[in-house]
C-alpha cells in the first residue's frame, strides 16, 4: 500500500479548539459560546461554537453575524466574573435575509468560561487529531463539562457517570442535543467520527470529486492497482492503496460512516469492490456506468449469491440524476447523493438522466 498522506480539511471545530487552547496557554481568559437549541430557520445549527478572549477577540460563529456582538459582550462580562449564562435570541426575517436565509427563527446560546477546563480541551484535541468520535456534555446551569471518548477521561466525573447512556445515544445518532435529568438541562455536543470515502479507480472523476469530498469532511482513500493511474503526482496528499480492491477494502473495513464508489468500468476491479461493500455496513455504495452496464454487473453479482435487496443498495448510475455530463458535474451529483444518504434525506423526484458510459 502506498501512503501519500491523508487529505482531510481542518474544519471550524479544530480552528476553534486550537485557538482557544493557544489563548489559554498565553494566559488569556477565554469563554466558549455554544448553540444548544434552535427553532425555525436558524443561521447556525446546534453545536456551533464561538470562543472569545478577554480582549474581545473571537473565532467561530453562532449565528452567521446576527447576534455575535451581543454574545461576545456577554462572554466578556462572564470573563470578568459574571456567572455562566443561557442566552435566547430571535433572528428577524430581515436579519435572516442578510445571512442567506429565507426567514427568521430563534436560538439558544450557552456561554461559560473555560477556566479549569484545560485538561478536557487537551483531551478533546487529542481525540480530534486521532479522528475519533467524542461527546462533550455541558451543564447549562454552571458550565461543568465532561468528555466521553474512547481512551480519554476528562472533566466532571459525576457528569460522566450520570450521562453515559445519553452520550452514547447522541454519538450513535450523530446529533447534538439537550437532555434533562433531575430538573437540570445538559447539552451533549456530538463530535462524530468523520465519514470515510473509498474510491475504486484513480480516474478523472476521482480527481474532481476528491477536493469536494475533502471540503465536506471526508477522509479519502483511493484504491487502484494500476500504477499508471494511481501515481502520487496525480493525487497529491491523498491516501492511496495499490492493492487489488478486494484486499484493499478488507483493510479499509467499511463501516456505517463509510462510502464506497467503483469508478473503473472494469469488472475485475469494480465487482470485487462492490461485493466487499455490499457485505459491509457502508451507508453508500455507488458504481459508475450506464444502465446497460449496470444490468450486466447485477447479473454477475447475482451469480455470487447477492439478493435483489442487497443489490438494490448500489446507486447506479452513480450520483443524483441532475443531467451531469462533465467530470466536475458528475462529482457534484455524487457528493450530493452521498450527502442525501448520510443525512437520511428523502430522495428527490427524478429528472431525465442520460446514461453515463
Q: What is the pTM of this model?
A: 0.73
From CA 5, how far away is CA 162, in angstroms rounded? 40
Identify the CATH number of the domain in which residue 210 sits: 3.40.50.720
Straight-line distance from the first to the last Cα atom of the chain, in angstroms, rounded to the nearest whole number: 29
Residues in the chain: 357
pLDDT tens digits for 247-305?
999 999 999 999 999 999 999 999 999 999 999 999 999 999 999 999 999 999 999 99
Helix (H, G, I), strand (E, B) or coil at 110: strand
- Does any domain span residue 224? yes
C-alpha span between 228 and 11 (Å, rounded): 32
User: What is the arithmetic mean of pLDDT over 26-52?
Assistant: 88
Do 202 and 186 fall into the same domain?
Answer: no
Task: Classify residue 81 by burial, with Cβ atoms within 10 Å: 0-12, 13-18, 19+.
Answer: exposed
Q: Are residues 107 and 206 in the same domain?
A: no
Farthest-apart Cα atoms in the chain, separation: 71
pLDDT, greater one: 131 or 308: 308
Last residue within a domain, chosen from 176, 191, 206: 191
Burial call 304-335: b when 16+ CB within 10 Å, e when fewer: eebeeeebebbbbbbbbbeebeeeeebbbbbb
- Give the separation between CA 201 and CA 230, rounded to whole angstroms: 8
Same domain, 100 and 182: yes
* pLDDT (average), residues 119-139: 93
Assess whether the previous peptide bond of 317 is cis (omega < 30° from 0). Answer: yes
Nearest to 294 by CA among 279, 312, 280: 312
Looking at the structure of the chain, the number of domains it has is: 2
The confidence score (pLDDT) of residue 12 equals 78
pLDDT tens digits, 166-178 = 999 998 888 899 9
Structural domain for 260, as ranges: 196-343
pLDDT at 351: 47
Amino acid at each position: 500500500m502506498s501512503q501519500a498522506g491523508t487529505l482531510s480539511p481542518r474544519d471550524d471545530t479544530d480552528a476553534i479548539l486550537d485557538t482557544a487552547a493557544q489563548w489559554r496557554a498565553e494566559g488569556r481568559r477565554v469563554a466558549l459560546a455554544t448553540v444548544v437549541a434552535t427553532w425555525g430557520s436558524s443561521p447556525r445549527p446546534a453545536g456551533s461554537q464561538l470562543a472569545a478572549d478577554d480582549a474581545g477577540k473571537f473565532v467561530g460563529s453562532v449565528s452567521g453575524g446576527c447576534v455575535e456582538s451581543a454574545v461576545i459582550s456577554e462572554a466578556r462580562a462572564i470573563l470578568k466574573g459574571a456567572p455562566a449564562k443561557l442566552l435566547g435570541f430571535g433572528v428577524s426575517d430581515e436579519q435572516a435575509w442578510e445571512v442567506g436565509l429565507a426567514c427568521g427563527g430563534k436560538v439558544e446560546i450557552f456561554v461559560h468560561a473555560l477556566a479549569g477546563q484545560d485538561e478536557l480541551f487537551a483531551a478533546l484535541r487529542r481525540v480530534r487529531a486521532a479522528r475519533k468520535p467524542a461527546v462533550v456534555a455541558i451543564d447549562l446551569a454552571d458550565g461543568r463539562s465532561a468528555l466521553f471518548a474512547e481512551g480519554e477521561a476528562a472533566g466532571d466525573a459525576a457528569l460522566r457517570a450520570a450521562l453515559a447512556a445519553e452520550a452514547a445515544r447522541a454519538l450513535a445518532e450523530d446529533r447534538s442535543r439537550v437532555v434533562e435529568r433531575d430538573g437540570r438541562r445538559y447539552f451533549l455536543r456530538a463530535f462524530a467520527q468523520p465519514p470515510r470515502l473509498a474510491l475504486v479507480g484513480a480516474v478523472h472523476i476521482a480527481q474532481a470529486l476528491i477536493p469536494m469530498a475533502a471540503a465536506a469532511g471526508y477522509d479519502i482513500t483511493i484504491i487502484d492497482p494500476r500504477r499508471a493511474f494511481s501515481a502520487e503526482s496525480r493525487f497529491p496528499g491523498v491516501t492511496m492503496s495499490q492493492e487489488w480492491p478486494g484486499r484493499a477494502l478488507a483493510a479499509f473495513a467499511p463501516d456505517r460512516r463509510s462510502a464506497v464508489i467503483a469508478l473503473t468500468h472494469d469488472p475485475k476491479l469494480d465487482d470485487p469492490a462492490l461485493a466487499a461493500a455490499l457485505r459491509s455496513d457502508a451507508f453508500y455504495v455507488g458504481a459508475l456506468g450506464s444502465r446497460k452496464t449496470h444490468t450486466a454487473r447485477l447479473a454477475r453479482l447475482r451469480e455470487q449469491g447477492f439478493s435483489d435487496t442487497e443489490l438494490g443498495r448500489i446507486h447506479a448510475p452513480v450520483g443524483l440524476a441532475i443531467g451531469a455530463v462533465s467530470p466536475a458535474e458528475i462529482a457534484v451529483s455524487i457528493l450530493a447523493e452521498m450527502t442525501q444518504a448520510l443525512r437520511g434525506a428523502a430522495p428527490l423526484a427524478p429528472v431525465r438522466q442520460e446514461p453515463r458510459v
